[in-house]
Amino acid sequence: MPEPRGGKPIASSQRPTGGDKAIVSSNKRQFFRRRKVCKFCVEKIDMIDYKDAKLLTQFVSERGKIVPRRLSGVCTPCQRRLAEAIKRCRSIALLPFAGNPREGREPREPREPRDFRDREPREPREPREPRS
């Protein structure tokens, strides 16, 4: 394992992992990420109910995609049950399959109506030769 400039090896909890807290040692900033915990295990929810759309919407993105484990912090067995519950909930139309792509955008400016009456007429085209 390579040693930092200070001469001491870095502990595994102090290695940079792109988290939210900074440790300053030997003029370098190092980050560590706090481990996410499974919401279902903490609250001791054994069965994820597919009819509870309010709970399931927390694990679906704005575009209607199921949020992955690494972002939501849900453990593997609960993520499998969660995905199945979301798919069942979609099939009975409690959750949408896809979000609204225009949601969150600013409305467009209305166009002025086009007036073709003052346009000059086109010249007639020459007839094409038939294909052989």
Q: What is the pTM of this model?
A: 0.55
Q: How confident is the model at residue 114 (pLDDT cuts 50, 70, 90)?
A: confident
pLDDT value of residue 57: 93
In the chain, the domains with their CATH numbers are 39-91 (4.10.640.10)
Average pLDDT value over all residues in the chain: 81
Which 3 state secondary structure label does DSSP give 28?
strand
Identify the sign of the CA torsion 38, 43, 48, 49. negative
Report CA-CA distances (Å) from 70 to 26, 61, 66, 76, 94: 31, 14, 12, 10, 25
